[in-house]
């Protein structure tokens, strides 16, 4: 049985926004969020740069997140507003940095390694304390709310034939958004219909990827290219969502359950890190020393080989020089022998030496 959607003003608007987004390439929810983010930044840059509440929120979150920060250059005439806001933020950051520097300065050099070791185990740097108090980017918080509302509206409307048909013709939700819809709509009667549409869409894309691969083969390379030509790009977006929206996984750890729980809280990560720090440090130190020794051995082997080649080359030169010297000595001896006039063989039986006599007096 299909639940009748509650068409509040916002949901009514979302309905039409989704119908429009279905006509665009890529995940419709990603598109709406991207548009919403640009609109929010545009309005903030236009009228809230000097708003004390906005400024306070940005101080608490240490500016915008990576995604929203790098959307700013796309906002027309945003440079001066960015300069004003970030100058203020930099002043706050500078205070934390100065405090961190003073904190490090309390460890005297004569304390040596133990002093530094105790300091590293003691109070955390003011820079870390300040960073750990950072609140989430407030535009991300708004975006997340909008994301949930849009996905709930989609679940509500997908039971309607016209809406479902338009959704079926679209690229469908990206995997992160389908995952969130499945989470939000666990008990929703239309979840099955939403998943059915995506089964069809993913099967089509799977077939297109096969065609794309087949036509890359030299035997079929002359066949006309179709929609499958960009299937690889659509597959990327299907898995990752629109560029910039979900960010990298560098700060996520393991299988932490739902996407919302994946980011480890700073305090939790600190406690876990503290527990395993000793053994991890010891293992890491041994690995480091091992790697360093291996590297040194490799360098010495290379040096040894180079020295061996130089040695062989020198030996060769010595032998050559010795041979040259020997030849020269033999030459010198040869010259000594040559200076003695050759013995003129005696004329025997009328045979005469035809060499001219010195002085050119030849009787013949
Ligand atoms: Zn998406
Ligand atoms: Zn953000």
Distance in Å, CA 30 to ligand 1 centroid: 4
Distance (angstroms) between ligand 2 centre and the Cα of 182 equals: 24
Ligand nearest to the CA of 241: 1
CA 98 to ligand 1 centroid distance, Å: 42
Q: How far is the CA of 248 from the centre of ligand 2 (A)?
A: 14
The Å distance, Cα 140 to ligand 1 centre, comes to 15
Expressed in angstroms and rounded, the spacing between residue 141 Cα and the centre of ligand 2 is: 7
Q: Is the distance from CB of 156 to CB of 3 less than 8 angstroms?
A: yes
CB 209 within 8 Å of CB 22: no
Give how far the C-alpha of residue 118 lies from the chain's centroid of Cα atoms, to the nearest Å: 35
Give the model's pLDDT for residue 120. Answer: 54
For ligand 2, the distance from its centroid to the CA atom of residue 23, given in whole angstroms, is: 26
| pLDDT value of residue 121 | 59
pLDDT in tens, the chain (364 residues): 445 545 567 778 899 999 999 999 999 999 999 999 999 999 999 999 999 999 999 999 999 999 999 999 999 999 999 999 999 999 999 999 999 999 887 655 555 555 555 555 578 899 999 999 999 999 999 999 999 999 999 999 999 999 999 999 999 999 999 999 999 999 999 999 999 999 999 999 999 999 999 988 889 888 888 889 999 999 999 999 999 999 888 877 765 444 444 454 444 455 555 565 667 667 777 877 888 888 889 989 989 999 999 999 999 999 999 999 998 888 877 665 555 554 544 444 444 444 444 444 444 3
DSSP string covering 192-230, please? HHHHHHHHHHHHHHHHHHHHHHHHHSTTTTTSPP-GGGG
- Measured from the alpha carbon of residue 175, the closest ligand is 1
Q: Is 244 in contact with 70 (CB distance < 8 Å)?
A: yes
Residue 205 near residue 173, CB atoms below 8 Å: no
Q: Separation of 245 CA from ligand 1 center, angstroms?
A: 8
Q: Which ligand is nearest to the CA of 247?
A: 2
- CA of 55 from ligand 1 middle (Å) equals 30
Residue 179 half-sphere exposure toward CB, CA atoms < 13 A: 12
Sorted by sequence, the CB contacts under 8 Å of residue 268 that are 6+ apart come out as none
φ, ψ for residue 263, nearest 5 deg? -75, 125
Instruction: Determine the pLDDT at residue 266.
Output: 46
pLDDT at 284 (0 to 100): 73
Tell me, what's the pLDDT at 112? 56
Ligand 2 midpoint to CA 274 (Å): 30
Which residues touch 69 (CB under 8 Å, ≥6 apart)?
63
Q: Which ligand is nearest to the CA of 70?
A: 2
Q: What is the pLDDT of residue 161?
A: 95
Residue 149 in contact with residue 18, Cβ under 8 Å? Answer: no
252: phi then psi, degrees, rounded to nearest 5: -100, 150
């Amino acid at each position: 049985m299909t639940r009748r959607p509650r068409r509040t003003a916002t949901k009514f608007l979302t309905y039409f926004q989704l119908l429009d987004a279905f006509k665009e390439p890529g995940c419709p929810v990603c598109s709406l969020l991207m548009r919403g983010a640009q609109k929010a930044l545009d309005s903030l840059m236009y009228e809230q740069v000097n708003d004390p509440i906005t400024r306070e929120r940005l101080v608490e979150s240490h500016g915008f997140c990576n995604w929203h920060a790098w959307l700013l250059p796309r906002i027309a005439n945003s440079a001066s507003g960015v300069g004003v806001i970030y100058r203020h933020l930099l002043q706050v950051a500078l205070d934390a940095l100065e405090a961190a520097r003073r904190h490090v300065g309390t460890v005297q050099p004569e304390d040596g390694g133990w002093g530094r070791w105790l300091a590293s185990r003691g109070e955390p740097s003011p820079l870390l304390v300040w960073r750990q108090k950072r609140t989430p980017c407030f535009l991300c918080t708004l975006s997340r709310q909008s994301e949930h509302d849009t996905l709930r509206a989609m679940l509500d409307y997908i039971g309607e034939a016209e809406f479902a048909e338009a959704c079926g013709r679209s690229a469908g939700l990206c995997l992160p958004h389908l995952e969130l819809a499945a989470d939000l709509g666990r008990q929703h009667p239309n979840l099955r219909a939403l998943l059915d549409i995506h089964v069809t869409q993913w099967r089509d894309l799977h077939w297109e990827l096969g065609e794309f691969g087949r036509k890359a083969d030299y035997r079929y390379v002359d066949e006309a290219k179709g929609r499958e030509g960009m299937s690889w790009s659509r597959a990327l977006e299907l898995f990752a969502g629109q560029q910039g929206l979900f960010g990298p996984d560098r700060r996520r750890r393991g299988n932490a359950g739902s996407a919302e729980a994946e980011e480890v809280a700073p305090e939790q990560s600190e406690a876990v890190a503290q527990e395993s720090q000793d053994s991890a440090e010891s293992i890491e130190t041994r690995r480091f020393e091992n790697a360093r020794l291996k590297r040194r051995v490799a360098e010495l082997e290379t040096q040894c080989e180079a020295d061996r080649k130089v040695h062989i080359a020198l030996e060769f030169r010595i032998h050559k020089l010795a041979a040259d010297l020997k030849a020269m000595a033999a030459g010198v001896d040869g010259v000594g022998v040559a200076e003695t006039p050759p013995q003129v063989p005696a004329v025997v039986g009328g045979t005469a030496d035809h060499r001219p006599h010195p002085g050119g007096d030849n009787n013949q």
